[in-house]
Every structure is written in C-alpha cells, then in structure tokens.
Amino acid sequence: MSGNVPKRDHIMAALAGSAGSGMTTLIEAVLHRAGAIPRPGTIADGNTVGDYQPEEIARQTTLTPALTYLDWTTEDGEHHAVTLADTPGHPDFIGGVDAALSVSDLAVIVVSAQAGVTAGTRAAWAAADASNKPRIVMVTCTDRPRADFSRVLLQLRDAFGPKIFPITLPIGHEAEFRAVDDLLSRRALELRDGKQSVTDIPADMAAESQNAADQMTEEIVQNDDEMMESYLEGNQPTQAQLETKLAELVADGEAYPVIVASGVTETGVDRFMDLICRLTPALAGKSTAVLMDNTEVEVAPDPEGEPLVQVFQTVADPFLGQISMFKVLSGTIKSGDRLRNATTGTEERFNQLFRLRGAEHLAVESLTAGDVGATAKLQGTPTGSLLWNRKHGHASAVALPERRPTYSVVLEPATTADTEKLSTQIQRIAAEDPTLRIDQVGGKTILRGLGDAHIGVAVDRLKRVGNVSVNTSPAPVAYHETIAKNADVEGKLKKQSGGSGQFAVVQCRVSPNDPGAGFEFIDSVVGGSVPRNFIPAVEKGAREATELGGPNGFPIVDIKVELYDGKSHPVDSNENAFRTAGRLAVKNAMETAGSVILEPIHIATVTVPLDHQGAVMTDLSGRRGARVITTESAPNGDAMIIANVPEAELARYVLDLRQMTQGHASLSITPDRYERYNGPPLKKD
C-alpha cells in the first residue's frame, strides 16, 4: 500500500479548543465567506451548521464532531476542497476530539483572545500531541471586550514552547479590530464591502510589525541552511519561499504558527483559509499508520492503491439508522462497492456516498484517497473499524488514547416497554461513542462515562433516538464479603411429610481463602457418606450461596469450602437436595463465623499543574482510606499524583476535581484490588 502519490487538493482540519473559544462561530464565518451559506448562524439562535443535534442546540455547545465540507478559492485563484471538523470543547466529550484528530491532516488549536490559554486549550493540545498531528493556532474573539492578543501569545509560548510565533497580527483592539497584519506578505488585510482588501499598516504599528516579521523570518529560515546563509548575507526570502518552508515545518511539527481572526466580523478569515490551503501540499501526502496482522504498516494516500477505509465516528440517526463517518486512506470507493470489515469480518455495502456539511448530505458518486465522507447502514462496522477488499487477514486502526470512565450511574427503565428496549438501544448509543461503557451488575444496567454531562447527553439521546426513557441513580459500589474465620458447619435439608421426600446432610469446613483467590471447593469425603454423584451438586449449591451474598447482602468471595462428611437417604436424596444443603452450609458458616466487608480500591492518577498540586494532595488526604503512592513529573512539567482511593470516594471525584482546579486537572481511574472496609456500617440496598 505505497508508491508514488499524486498531488491532491483536499485537506481535513480539526478545530479543537475550549468550549466558548469560538470554533463553531469561526466555521460559520468560513462557510459564509466561501459562499456555502447565505448568512452565518449563531449559537444563541440554534441555527449553526455544526451544532444541529437537539442536545447541542439545547445546551448551546458542540457535543460530537461535526464535519463541514466546503470549496475554497484562494486569493490567487486556486480551488481547494476542505473539510473542517468542529469538535467538542467540554472535557466530557474529549473522545470526539480524539476521533476527529485521528483522521485529520491538521489540528487547529482555537484560543479565545478574551479567555486566553485555558484547561480546554491544554487538553486540545495534549490530544493533538497524542495523535501526533501538525498544528497551527487560531486566536479568535479578538473583537470582544478585554481581548488581548499579546497576552495570549505570551501564554501560548509559556504553555507550549518556543516553536510558537505569530504570522498575522491584529490591527485595532477589541471593538476596533478591523484588519490583520499579514507578516508573510507584509500587507494589511481588511474586509471592505464584503471583500478582502489591502490597506496600509498603521504608522503606530510599523515598528511592532517589522519586529514581528523579522522574528518570524528568523524562526523559519533557521531550519534551512541554504535559506539561513542567504538571509545572513542580507537577502530577504520571498513570500513564496517563506510559505513553502513554513508548510514543511508545520508538517514536521517544527513550527506552530499563530494567526488571528474574528468569527463574528469575519476579519482575518480569508487569510486563515488561504493559509490552510497553502499547507495542503506538505500535509496531504502523509501516510497513515494502521495495524495489519498485529504489525504497524504505513499506508500512503494513493488513489490508485488498494481500497482501505477507516470509520472514525458513528451517529445514530432516527430516520437513516447508523451513519458512519469515514476517511479513505487508500484507493477509491464508489457507491455500491462492497468491502469487508477487516476487524469484524462483516461484508458491507456502501450504498449512497455523501460528504457532510453539518446535517446536510452532499451526494457524491465516489471518494478517493484522502477524502472524508459518510454512508448509512454499515451494520457490522463499529467506530474504529477498517474496511478493505481482502478476503482474509486482520487490520485495525491505531488505538485512540484510552479515556477510562470516571463517572457512573444506574439506568432504571421508566416503564415495562422501556425495559424491553433498553439493552438494544443503549448499545446503539454506546456504539457512537467508545468512551461510554455499559456493564451489567446484579441485574442492573450501569452506564459509565467521563462526567455527568457525558452521561446526561447519552440519556437524552437514548430517549430521542431510541425512544427509551430511563431514570438514573448513583452506581452502587461493588462491595464484597468474605468469611471472618474458620467454621465447621452443617447444611441439612429434611423434608419427609407428604409426597416425595427431600433429604441431604453435609458437613463442611469453611475458611478464608487468599485475597483474590476466589472460591475453592475441596472434596475430602471418604467412605461414601455423601454419594459421589451428589458431590458436584454440593459444590454448585455452595457457589450459589456466594452469589446470593453474605449477612450484609454482598457477594461472597475468597472462601474455601471443604466437604468432609454427610448423610444421604436411599430414596429421598437427590441432586437438588444436596445442592440446597451445600447452599445452607455456606450460609450457616457466614452467620457463625461472621463476615468481613471488602471494598474495591482503585488507582487514581491525577495530572495537574504545579500551582494546583497542593490543593489536590490536601483533598486526597481528607478522603477516607485514600493513600498517595507517589508523585511524579509529567512530560509537560505538570505534577502526576498517583494514589490508592476507595471506589466509594471516587463517585463524584471527577466533578470535585474539575471545580477544585478550574478544569486544569485530568483524571484516570484503574481498578486495583479489594481491601477490608473500614468505614461507617453498610447494608446492601
């Protein structure tokens, strides 16, 4: 899957940043400038192209990646196909950012000139790092009160290093922002009567502009010996030379240029899109790593190559069923083509192919390597699958960053009809979002996600798309019980009044087993006091007793049951009788010897900026049973606090942690072990 790759003019860029940083508004401005929509929508009016789902309109925020296809004509008349992905800014929906970045050519980190670098900015940058994506930085909201581009630029450099430098500057502050100073072309660009026009750089900005242009030029040419030598000899690089070299640096992750625009006034938007198109030749020919038969292989985007398609996002549609968003990694696919899922083995037919512009489907006959599109009703293709035309073999996309659930609830169907549909429909909702998890515990359906908003949106979609209403309650802690000490007990069933009798007696020694060893049954019967054919029934009954629970109602774990004697009746003994006797023996042992409640202990890893480390450590030390194991330094300089924490103390911890650190902390929870419970008295509900 390699070879000479023809030049293509299609690029996909994922916009990522904090909620409220202006991503959706910026895309509206781009669509308007491109002539794709007659007027921009607004989040307040609920009529933007990207935020079209009812849950997004109600919450006025992006919740799932929205693809926006458009045709862009650059200032010099070149035509480019561009797909912009509007990604969620809320931390609960970071999985959508990962999905969009996994197939993007470029990450655009969007930062508000009002708010500056926030927790959401850092999370977006970390996600781009994890997916190893080239990136540029877009500073928006420059026209708003308290907007300060210079302050934001300093914050960006402090947070993400010296490879960040501006290539456009704002002309005018806050409401007076009216044009951009394009350092590459040494021109001022403003919108006049709906058209981008060239104007003069204000005299009071001349020195600042020249200084910034010189610094930008030095940042670019220092990465090319020939350019650097020529520059030192007094030769100024041309705009074309600077743009070509900058594109190479961005593609290689050696430069993060910063540009400025307003999605509301649309100032600077044309230059933003022209820049993205200038980057296309350096970005669009990059290969994609996939796993083929457990070996990582680089796949070149060759339109003539073997077809290979990656499904990166699915959306449950109440009318069309499942819509699969995908990128063609190699080859060309046409409507009606059949490909085999390289992960599940299912053969799929691509019915109608279309590009997406929010909720709008733009039908196409074919899509080629590098293109992003969608189709409906790929029934056996979950998110993350690869499809190809090979009959044998296995392939999968490189795994996305692992996002472990940190918040859980019980789903309780509102009606009998809801009960019947819940299992199928919640699986359908979870298929859209790999960061959701579903567990069945004690007959209850547990939904696990990244926070309360994540769970709330899933429940809303379950109602809208699956027509299933549920109530939610906190997920129960998975407590266990074990026997406190050894006990010699008898399990006896004697029923001989009327009809067939039931008779079985077993003598058992029940004792604690090693932690984590589970249930162990030992047959020590001699002399046939318990017939051999009934001994498996005794074991089965003893196991059933552990599932039914101990005196406190929690499942029994880590016990040994040794059957050493008993009695039987030639007529009235049977398997059911000895099964019941085995169950009674364990029950009697737990009541005689007493039980110990065991609670689940998790490893909680908190990554947090150093200025919040003290608050997090203090909070953890105040949680019952929590013990800090170690503190380490994260690659970005943050503190990484690793602690053992009882599950009961983590129920709302992700919410508390975000409030405590203003959203700057990230949390990972990993199950570890069980320990003896040491807290207030417990009884199972």
What pLDDT is stored for residue 568 in this prediction? 94
Q: Which of 407, 473, 412, 469 is nearest to 437 (CA)?
A: 407
Q: Where are the alpha helices (DSSP H) in 530-652?
A: 535-548, 575-593, 610-621
CA atoms within 13 A on the CB side of 678: 8
- Report, as an integer, the average pLDDT of 475-487: 95
pLDDT at residue 320 is higher than 90: no
Residue 498 predicted with pLDDT over 70: no
pLDDT at 280: 84
Q: For 47-76, what is each residue's pLDDT tens digit?
A: 999 999 999 999 999 999 999 999 999 998
Averaged over 150-167, what is the pLDDT? 96
For residue 380, pLDDT over 70 is answered with yes
Given the candidates 3.40.50.620, 3.30.390.30, 3.30.230.10, 1.10.4010.10, the CATH classification of the domain at 481-593 is 3.30.230.10
Neighbours of 668 (CB within 10 A): 16
Percent of the chain topping pLDDT 90: 84
pLDDT band at 5 (very low <50, low <70, confident <90, very high): very low
| pLDDT at 186 > cutoff 90 | yes
Residue among 191, 176, 190, 119 at smallest CA distance from 145: 176
What dotted CATH number matches 289-397? 2.40.30.10
**What residue spans in the chain does CATH classification 3.30.70.240 cover?**
599-676
* pLDDT (mean) for 116-121: 96
| pLDDT attached to residue 3 | 42
The CATH architecture annotation of domain 412-474 reads 2-Layer Sandwich (3.30)
Whether the Cβ atoms of residue 263 and residue 269 lie closer than 8 Å to each other: yes
Q: What is the mean pLDDT of residues 484-509?
A: 90
Structure tokens at 546: 């552990």
Provide mean pLDDT across the span 626-638: 92
Mean pLDDT over 656-670 rounds to 94
Q: Which of 83, 89, 97 is nearest to 23 (CA)?
A: 89
292-309 pLDDT, tens digit per residue, is: 988 999 999 999 999 999
Spatial CA neighbour of 472 closest among 651, 683, 670 = 651
Look-up of token digits 């472990």: 404
For domain 10-284, give the CATH number.
3.40.50.300
Q: For all residues of the chain together, what is the average pLDDT?
A: 93
Q: What percent of the chain has pLDDT over 70?
A: 98
pLDDT (tens digit per residue) in 504-520: 999 999 999 999 999 99
pLDDT for 8 equals 53
1 falls in which pLDDT band (50, 70, 90)?
Answer: very low
List every span in the chain annotated with CATH 3.40.50.300. Answer: 10-284
581 touches 602 (CB < 8 A):
no
CATH 3.30.70.870 in the chain is located at 412-474
Instruction: For residues 673-682, give the mean pLDDT.
Output: 90
Q: In this predicted model, what pLDDT tens digit does every residue of 527-564 receive, in sequence order?
A: 889 999 999 999 999 999 999 999 999 999 999 999 99
Angstrom CA distances, 96 to 90, 99, 140, 207, 434, stand at 10, 5, 22, 43, 9
15 forms beta bridges with 86, 108
The alpha carbon of residue 12 and the mean position of all alpha carbons in its chain are separated, in whole angstroms, by: 19
Per-residue pLDDT at 282:
87
Query: Looking at the predicted structure, is the pLDDT value of residue 267 above 80?
Result: yes
Helix (H, G, I), strand (E, B) or coil at 407: strand
CATH 2.40.30.10 intervals, the chain: 289-397
Query: Which CATH code for domain 599-676?
Result: 3.30.70.240
Rounded CA separation 397/309 (Å) = 10
Residue 127 has pLDDT above 70, yes or no: yes
| Mean pLDDT value across residues 156-181 | 95
Q: Is the pLDDT of residue 679 over 90?
A: no
Average pLDDT on 315-327 reads: 84
